[in-house]
């Protein structure tokens, strides 16, 4: 049997850790390869680690064809759904996979909406002297698009079995985190919330904190949180101390008193004018 290992597919899901791979190898040596490898034609879709171990030790294995795949996107969606359902996948990995699924689904929906149905050529229909004898065939079905659009963070959170705040943290890590910080999250060194906080630092500070280990990463996150708490207080003090600056939105006590006196004066003038008007009319 000719099995093709597509390196892009092999790398699509994060690889096992050294300990996880060793545990799988021990299991296969003791019990054999019980689960069939999934193929798409000759291409290996699921079971890369089992295939490598079986090849290394000459262990027998079975294969099964998935006949529902029509494109590489189908393969990606299937792989994502398989791993989202596995308990061994970390929170960060599940969040990343759910976000990937959102991108694929959104792209499919956009293509389906932008592709008009192909017109039917009546020359391809059987004809009689009165014209075509058969109705045009129905339009080709639109590409299969999963029913859940994953357009909201809540939907992504449900798909990944996470909270919305965890999804926000994962998005921030994906966009801003240095590779060293991402590696710390994947290894379980720090939590998603801590990593998302450290990810707001410049890249060189993230790298330095990651090299320092768990304690240094926690200290870096604490410095970021403390700085956020200090800033509003410092801004307020600077505004109060700066000469010629406008008063804060609420206004100073002197300004409030001045405004109240002016209102009282205008009210008195208004009452006096009303009294004069009533006298003249009477």
Can you tell me whether residue 131 is helix, strand or coil?
A: strand
C-beta neighbour count of 105 within 10 angstroms: 19
User: Would you state the pLDDT for residue 22?
Assistant: 96
Q: pLDDT of 250-270, one tens digit each?
A: 555 666 666 777 777 677 677
At 140 the pLDDT is 46
Q: Are strands 37-40 and 63-65 parallel, antiparallel or unpaired?
A: parallel
Q: Are strands 63-65 and 131-132 parallel, antiparallel or unpaired?
A: unpaired
Least confident of 36-40, 129-133, 196-200, 237-241: 129-133
Summarize the confidence of residues 78-85 as an average pLDDT. Answer: 92
Beta strands in the chain (DSSP E): 37-40, 43-46, 63-65, 127-128, 131-132
Q: Distance between CA 282 and CA 279 in Å, rounded?
A: 5
pLDDT of residue 115: 75
State the average pLDDT for the chain: 83
Please give the share of the chain, as a percent, with pLDDT higher than 70. Answer: 74
Q: Check pLDDT > 70 for residue 57.
A: yes
Is pLDDT above 80 for 64? yes
Partnered with residue 131 across adjacent β-strands are 128
- Domain ranges, ordered by start, for the chain: 1-67
Neighbours of 213 (CB within 10 A): 12
Confidence of residue 92 (pLDDT cuts 50, 70, 90): very high
């Amino acid at each position: 049997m000719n099995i093709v290992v597509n390196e892009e597919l092999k790398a699509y899901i994060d690889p096992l850790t050294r300990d996880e791979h060793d545990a799988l190898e021990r299991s296969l040596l003791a019990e054999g390869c019980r689960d069939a490898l999934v193929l798409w034609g000759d291409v290996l879709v699921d079971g890369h680690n089992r295939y490598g171990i079986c090849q290394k030790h000459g262990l027998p294995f079975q294969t099964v064809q998935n006949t529902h795949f029509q494109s590489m996107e189908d393969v990606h969606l299937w792989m994502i759904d398989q791993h989202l359902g596995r308990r061994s996948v970390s929170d960060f990995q599940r969040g990343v996979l759910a976000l990937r699924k959102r991108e694929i689904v959104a792209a499919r929906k956009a293509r389906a909406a932008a592709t008009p149905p192909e017109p039917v050529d009546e020359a391809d229909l059987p004809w009689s002297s009165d014209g075509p004898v058969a109705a045009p065939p129905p339009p080709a079905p639109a590409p299969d698009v999963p029913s859940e659009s994953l357009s909201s963070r809540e939907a992504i959170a449900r798909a990944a079995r996470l909270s919305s705040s965890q999804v926000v943290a994962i998005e921030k890590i994906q966009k801003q985190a240095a590779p060293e910080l991402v590696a710390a999250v994947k290894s379980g060194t720090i939590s998603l919330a801590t990593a998302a906080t450290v990810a707001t630092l410049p890249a060189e500070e993230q790298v330095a904190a990651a090299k320092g280990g768990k304690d240094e990463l926690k200290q870096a996150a604490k410095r970021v949180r403390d700085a956020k708490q200090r800033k509003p207080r410092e801004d307020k003090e600077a505004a109060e101390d700066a000469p010629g600056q406008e008063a804060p939105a609420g206004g100073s006590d002197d300004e409030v008193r001045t405004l109240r006196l002016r209102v009282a004066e205008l009210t008195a003038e208004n009452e006096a004018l009303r009294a004069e008007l009533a006298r003249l009319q009477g």
